[in-house]
């Protein structure tokens, strides 16, 4: 049947991807050499190239495995059939936990995507967009007046900003636990959501705004 090496091959490949994610996260994609990835994985450089085609594929695999994990998370939560508010609580809680567990991969996803080629980057961005859309839809269900306004996606991105930025300053060994931070994020965001004013004019703004460049002050 299948080649005997497959299981061990995938194990070794997984270890290489994890080590690559660690090095990319710490030193950046460009500043990380394939020699370093090989050494950290306990193999020679030619052996490394037996498991991955090239440096870009290494980056793409790290990013896509992480995106796939996040999409699975979204599917799980949607399968629970919760009302929107409870669904958002679950989403935040599980995303923060997933980010914490895959800290290196998450950093690579948020910082090194620009080093992918155009098609590869487009795939990754499309995956991210699908995840963001679920959050945005949930927000609209919680506040129907957001529907049609231009605010649903920006609000979603502010929420992602809190979660994503968290892992630039929250140390895993620190006194603050990730799950307690997830609670704070939830309280802050859900508590503040009702205070955000939806401008009545924003609904028609998609028609009235010309493609004229609006420089941010």
Partner DNA sequence: CCTACCGATCGGTAGG
Residues that bind its own copies (CB under 8 A): 26-31, 97, 100-101, 110-111, 114-115, 150-151, 154-155, 157-158, 160-166, 168-181, 183-185, 187-197, 199, 205-206, 209, 211-217
> CB under 5 to 8 A by kind: which of its own copies, DNA, none does 70 bind?
none
Angstrom distances, CA of residue 3 to CA of 7, 11, 14, 186: 9, 14, 18, 48
CB atoms within 10 A of CB 55: 18
Assess contact for 77 and 98: CB atoms under 8 A: no
Task: Tell which one of 2, 5, 197, 213 touches DNA (CB under 7 A).
Answer: 5
34 binds DNA (CB under 7 A): yes
Binding-site size, DNA (CB under 7 A):
18
159 within 8 A of 135, measured Cβ to Cβ: yes
Closest CA to 140 of 154, 125, 121: 154
9 binds DNA (CB under 7 A): yes
Q: What's the CA gap between 76 and 101, in Å, rounded?
A: 17
Q: 31 or 125: whose CB is closer to DNA?
A: 31
**CB 104 to its own copies: min, Å:** 13
Tell me if 43 contacts DNA by CB under 7 A: yes
Minimal distance, residue 191 CB to its own copies, in Å:
3
Cα separation, 67 vs 150, in Å, equals 26
């Amino acid at each position: 049947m299948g080649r005997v090496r497959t299981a061990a091959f995938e194990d070794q490949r997984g270890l290489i991807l994890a080590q690559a994610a660690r090095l990319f996260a710490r030193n950046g994609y460009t500043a990380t050499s394939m020699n370093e990835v090989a050494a950290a994985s306990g193999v020679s450089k030619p052996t490394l190239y037996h498991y991955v085609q090239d440096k870009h594929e290494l980056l793409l695999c790290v990013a896509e495995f992480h995106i796939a994990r996040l999409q699975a998370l979204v599917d799980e939560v949607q399968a629970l059939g919760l009302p929107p508010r409870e669904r958002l609580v679950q989403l935040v809680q599980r995303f923060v936990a997933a980010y914490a567990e895959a800290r290196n991969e998450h950093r690579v996803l948020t910082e090194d995507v620009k080093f992918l080629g155009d098609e590869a980057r487009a795939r990754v961005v499309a995956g991210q967009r699908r995840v963001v859309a679920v959050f945005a839809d949930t927000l609209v269900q919680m506040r129907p007046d957001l529907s049609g306004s231009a605010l649903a996606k920006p609000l979603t991105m502010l929420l992602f900003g809190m979660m994503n930025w968290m892992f630039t300053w929250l140390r895993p060994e620190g006194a603050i636990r990730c799950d307690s931070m997830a609670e704070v994020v939830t309280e802050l965001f859900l508590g503040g959501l009702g205070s955000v004013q939806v401008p009545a004019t924003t609904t028609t703004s998609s028609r009235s705004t010309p493609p004229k460049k609006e420089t941010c002050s």
